[in-house]
Amino acid sequence: MLKQVLVASALAAITVSVAQAQTCEKNFKVSGIPLVTAVSFKSSQSFPKVKQAQALKRLAQAIAAEGFSGITVNKELGAIDAYQDTSGSGRLQTLRVVARSQGGGTLVNAVFDIQPGQVTTNDVVRTGMCSIIRSAGG
C-alpha cells in the first residue's frame, strides 16, 4: 500500500513538472464569450535558468516593443501592467505579466483582457503574448 502511495506521489510530481515545462503556446487558454462578455487570454512558461530580475527587465522591453502604453513595473511583486487602445475608442485592452522565482529560474504568467464587444483572433493574441513571454528567456 505504501509503495502505491509513493508511486502515485511521484507520478503527480512528474505531471506538475511537465505541465510547468510546456511552451507558452501549449499553455494558452481563452475564457469568456466574444462580443458578449470580456474575454481573457492566459498563458505561462517556465524559464529554469533565468533570474526573476532579468526576466522582468526583458519582459518590460518586449511589452514596450509590442506597442503597449502605460507600462508600470512593480519589482517587489514581479508584475508588469500595461494597456492598449487599438480602436481609438478609449476602451482599453489590459495586459498583466507576472514573473516569479521558481527554484533556480522564473515562471512567467500573462493575462490579456479585452472588453465586452471587442474582438480579436486567438492566433493574433497567442502570437503576441507568447512573443512577450518568450522574451524572458533572452
Which sequence spans correspond to the domains of the chain? 23-137
For the domain covering 23-137, report its CATH number. Answer: 3.30.530.20
Please indicate, yes or no, whether the overall pTM of this predicted structure exceeds 0.85: no
Residue spans of alpha helices (H) in 81-121: none
Cα-Cα-Cα-Cα torsion 33, 116, 81, 68, nearest 10 degrees, comes to: 110
**Backbone CA torsion sign across 57, 58, 64, 68:** negative
**131's grid cell:** 512573443
> Which residues 6+ apart lie within 8 Å of 98 measured at CB?
77, 78, 79, 80, 108, 109, 110
Contact present, 24 and 43 (Cβ < 8 Å): yes
What pLDDT, on the 0 to 100 scale, is given for residue 13? 41
Per-residue pLDDT of the chain (138 residues), as tens digits, is 444 433 444 434 433 444 456 999 999 999 999 889 999 999 999 999 999 999 999 999 999 999 999 999 999 999 999 999 876 777 899 999 999 999 999 999 999 999 998 889 999 999 999 999 999 999
